[in-house]
Amino acid sequence: MNVAAEAIAEQPAHPAGSETVVQAHGLTKRYKNAVALDGTDFRIGQGRIVGLIGPNGAGKTTALKAILGLTDFEGELAVLGMDPRRQRPQLMREVCFIADVATLPRWIRVQEAIDFVAGVHPRFDRAKCERFLARTKLRANQKVREMSKGMIVQLHLAIVMAIDARLLVLDEPTLGLDILYRKQFYQSLLEDYFDENKTILITTHQVEEVEHILTDLLFIRDGKIALSATMDEMGARFAEVLVGAGQVAAARALNPIDERAAVFGKSIFLYDSADPEQLAQLGEVKRPSVSDLFVAIMKGTYA
């Protein structure tokens, strides 16, 4: 971990808010030749939309598998007050999951998929599912193998959003979809699914497309949490400054966590918890994007 990431990771986690949905302490997962999760701690509260963001191999998928009861682990992990290893059947009545790889069989028809879920899940609302599908081009007798990837995601989303789950886990849910489908997907989440009693956990590499819906950030690197903050805390803590050539030395003296070149000989410096008045004297100050903050903290990961 680089110096900047170490300093950020040492910051206290954001304060507890509402009911805890996921609580991890010392969460560890070892494979034969690697450590996927390295004693990590994090908390996710009810009614939050949390982005779990990290480079490839950082431990994101392993963390999701642990939360969903799909892998064993060391340490403590409670999801909706349950142990995923021992109480998975009860847990999955309260949790839904969408991955980038659709799990619907290719031979099944739309109506058959709805009938199946209605028969096995006590919290499935058929009418809600059919209302959502009425806004798409999907037909009741259409088979999965006849659908585009975007249409499969629409069917999967309609089924999942019609289940009154308390936790929705999304693992790269829009991977491979065009921008129109991606925007429709996240808009549907906000309009048709999310409320103060539900929690959404998202992993994605398309950070820019989810930034506007997130309430919380979890950056993960080498199996450890490198940043845990609400979006409001992020805006208060971090700042970017566009600095002219004459102010570069003064900008470096304030210990930025990142520096990169900009146009016309200027530089952009990123700061954590710096004095706003001092920053204003250097140049134009703005809130960094999640992607710029992520790149700054994760520098060196791919070296």
**Tokens linked to 98:** 């969408």
Residues of the domain holding 277:
234-298
pLDDT tens track for 117-152: 999 888 899 999 998 898 888 999 999 999 988 888
Q: Please indicate, yes or no, if residue 149 is contained in any of the structural domains.
A: no
Q: Please indicate, yes or no, if residue 242 is contained in any of the structural domains.
A: yes
Q: Please indicate, yes or no, if residue 215 is contained in any of the structural domains.
A: no
Residue 152's pLDDT is: 86
Residue 102's pLDDT is: 57
Q: Please indicate, yes or no, if residue 141 is contained in any of the structural domains.
A: no
Complete DSSP assignment for the chain:
--HHHHHHHTSPPPPP-S-EEEEEEEEEEE-SS-EEEEEEEEEEETT-EEEEE--TTSSHHHHHHHHTTSS--EEEEEETTB-TTT-HHHHTTTEEEEESS--S-TT-BHHHHHHHHHHH-TTB-HHHHHHHHTTSS--TT-BGGGS-HHHHHHHHHHHHHTB--SEEEEESTTTT--HHHHHHHHHHIIIII--TT-EEEEE-S-HHHHTTT-SEEEEEETTEEEEEEEHHHHHHHEEEEEE-GGGHHHHHHT--SEEEE-GGG-EEEEEES--HHHHHTTEEEEPPPHHHHHHHHHTTTT-
pLDDT tens track for 201-236: 999 888 888 899 999 999 999 999 999 999 999 999
Q: Please indicate, yes or no, if residue 292 is contained in any of the structural domains.
A: yes
Residue 278: band (very low, low, confident or very high) from pLDDT cuts 50, 70, 90: very high
Q: Measured between alpha carbons, how far is 294 from 56 in angstroms, rounded to an integer?
A: 13
75 to each of 32, 58, 270, 289, how far by Cα in Å?
18, 18, 35, 33
Longest Cα–Cα distance in the chain: 69
Q: Please indicate, yes or no, if residue 269 is contained in any of the structural domains.
A: yes
Q: Please indicate, yes or no, if residue 274 is contained in any of the structural domains.
A: yes
Q: Please indicate, yes or no, if residue 260 is contained in any of the structural domains.
A: yes
pLDDT tens track for 30-68: 998 889 999 999 999 999 999 999 988 889 999 999 999
Residue 178's pLDDT is: 79
The total number of structural domains in the chain stands at 1
